Amino acid sequence: MENKISLSINSLISSIYGGLITGFGTILLIGLNNDINKISPIGIAGILALNILIWFLFLIILNLIHNQNGK
């Protein structure tokens, strides 16, 4: 039971961090390109892909830390 609670808290934390990373990346993208009309769809796709990649790396690191604590 305790393990399930810990796992759900980790999932919640990783979801929050994932949302923050994606949101921050998007804000950064719009901030760098002052004019939204200038942003190409390929640029948006690239930034989203990069955000997803960072988020997955974060999840993997979080999972490794969790597995180390479990042992």
pLDDT at 66: 74
Q: Rounded to an integer, what distance in angstroms lies between the CA atom of residue 7 and that of residue 1?
A: 10
Q: Where are the domains of the chain?
A: 2-70
Tokens for 40? 């190409």
pLDDT at 50: 78
Q: Rounded to an integer, what distance in angstroms lies between the CA atom of residue 50 and that of residue 30?
A: 15
Between 3 and 46, whose confidence is greater? 46
**1: pLDDT strictly greater than 60:** no
Return the SS3 of 71. coil
How many degrees, rounded to 5, is the angle at CA 6 between CA 65 and CA 2?
125
Other beta carbons less than 10 A from residue 18's beta carbon: 17
Residues 15-69 pLDDT 10s: 777 777 777 777 776 666 656 566 667 777 777 777 778 778 877 887 787 777 6
pLDDT at 11: 75
